[in-house]
Chains A and B, each alone.
Chain A
Amino acid sequence: MARKEQPYDDIPGTFVFDAERSRRGYGINMFCMSLMKDENRKAFKADEAGYLKKFPLTPEQTEAILERDYNRMLELGGNIYFTAKLGATDGHSFQHLAAVMTGNSQEDYAKMMLGGGRSIEGNRSRSGKNTPSKFLSPAAAKKKPSAARPKTKARSKSRSARRK
């Protein structure tokens, strides 16, 4: 069964760890969790493919782990707090991991963060929905929040529709 499209799939460069990904990625995350123990880290490092057989993983998930394809792991149900444990097992800092996921060198990524991070402008939407959230935008702040107004509008509209 294909993944049901969600409103947050429109956010670019983002794999939201939702209930469905959590279900599909259970094996990935349980594998990562096992790396909290030193003996497991050693066993994994000694025979990666063999160690992974202990967990319920699809062939795609196994491949993503062996190839350290972090974005693919997220897509297939891994969660960043868990996959970060794999990065740590490899001896990488979190910033290294972030750089890998963004396709940058660690140096460039670090520079971007020091410069204030990745801008929201142009990074809101894949479908071109690039206007800021109405809930916090300065324009919205000026308007008085009125729950009644939109309701009245909707009612008058439906009334006029009935008249027609």
Chain B
Amino acid sequence: MARIIAGIGSSHVPAIGAALDNGKTEEPYWKRVFSGFEKSQAWMREAKPDVAIIVYNDHASAFSVEMIPTFALGCAAEFPPADEGWGPRPVPVVQGHPALASHIAQSVILDEFDLTICNKMEVDHGMTVPMNLLFGKVDKDAHWPCPVIPLAVNVVMYPPPTGHRCYMLGRAIRKAVESYPEDLKVVIFGTGGLSHQISGPRAGLINSQWDKSFLDNLSKNPERLVRIPHVDYMREAGAEGIEMVMWLVMRGALDDKVDEVYRFYTVPASNTAVGHIILQNRRRAARTTPRRRPAAAKHKRAAARGNVQRVRS
């Protein structure tokens, strides 16, 4: 059985990718950002997921205004990096996992989430920047450490899906993953945010208090977050801060109780507050020891009681 072992939240600021691609990671401004992900990369090397599901949004790269799917699942065998106007990022082509992806599509559509299926799709910084932050720099001709299933969410045109819808989709994805027969360790990324506004006269807005509270609740009390209306995200976290709803897909795919194994927050990267969190399912540890032992003991007790009764009659 496949299972989701952990969820990762990460900003996907394009300038982070540009800094990495242009060898600026040692500059103090960028070192502050990249150093926050060193522990995460070590965690990822140890976790060795077989597949990553990455919830992200496209920024006028694969989708323009001609088609605006609310949820689009990448079922292709590979996803080339998109040319965002400066040539494609020098990162490897992302390998997909068509078998698990199509299984997820079939399962969640029957659970009433009407996904768009993408059998051909390019992916932009929204996906490749978090991959770099968690997997490190990977040479263009090398391979990413694991296949990826992209889930593109429309957060560009209002209205995006509600936080509640995102959370419930996460739940449906968990159910789908757990009904996949192959033994796979899956991680799920929620990307984008945290607070930022890059458009209009209010551009530059950052709300660290909001961000901190969001991360706190994401970890311990996600049910509080699913009721936040869009207008509150846009007012408090900036017009583009509404990307944060994508983190709720990730959270919905995890167990109710999770362990927060790591958190990082810094302001700014370009125009954005960088947020990052790793939440681990507790079942992961529980599974390493053989299960059902208490059940066996109960069964024995019942059998023992049965024996006693039989003696009496």
Contacts and interface: CB of A to CB of B under 8 A. Distances in A.
Interface of A: 7-8, 10-19, 22, 25-26, 29-30, 32-33, 35-36, 71, 74, 79-82, 85, 88, 94-95, 98, 101-103, 109, 112-114, 116-120, 123-125, 132-133, 135-138, 141, 145
Contact of A13 (B201, B206, B224, B232): B201
A29 B65 contact: yes
B303 to A, nearest CB: 44
B204 A112 contact: yes
A8 B204 contact: no
A117 B157 contact: no
Contacts of B197: 14, 118
Contacts of B214: 136
A141 B217 CA distance: 9
26 contacts: A8-B158, A14-B234, A16-B234, A16-B239, A18-B158, A22-B68, A29-B60, A33-B60, A33-B64, A35-B85, A79-B199, A80-B240, A95-B271, A98-B204, A103-B201, A117-B195, A117-B271, A118-B197, A120-B209, A124-B236, A125-B235, A135-B227, A136-B209, A137-B213, A141-B213, A141-B217
B270 A95 contact: yes
A25 to B, nearest CB: 8
A79 B210 contact: no
Interface string B46-84: 000000000000011000111010000000000000010
Interface in B78-135: 83, 85-86
Interface string B189-209: 000000101111111111111
A120 B234 contact: no
Interface residues of B, number: 51
B199 A123 contact: no
Given A11-B239, A123-B202, A133-B210, 11 more contacts: A7-B231, A10-B235, A12-B202, A16-B158, A18-B157, A35-B85, A79-B60, A79-B199, A103-B201, A118-B197, A136-B210
Given A30-B65, A95-B270, A132-B236, A19 B158 contact: yes
A8 B68 CA distance: 21
Contact of B231 (A8, A12, A17): A8
Contacts of A16: 158, 234, 239
B156 interface: yes
Contacts of A15: 199-200, 239
B240 to A, nearest CB: 7
Nearest to A147: B227
Interface string B206-236: 1111100110110000011101101110111
B267 A116 contact: yes
A94 B231 contact: no
- Name which of B203, B210, B216 has the most chain A CB atoms within 10 A of its CB: B203
Contacts, number: 168
Contacts of A136: 209-210, 213-214, 217, 228, 232, 236
B268 interface: yes
A82 B235 contact: no
A13 B158 contact: no
Interface string B140-168: 00000000000000001111000000000
A118 B204 contact: yes
Nearest to A8: B231
Given A13-B201, A15-B199, A98-B198, A82 B65 contact: yes
B187 interface: no
B199 A138 contact: no
B202 A13 contact: yes
Nearest to A34: B64
B273 interface: yes
Contact of B198 (A30, A82, A94): A94
B65 A26 contact: yes
Contact of B234 (A8, A25, A29): A8
Contacts of A124: 235-236
A113 B60 contact: no
B30 to A, nearest CB: 13
Nearest to A33: B64
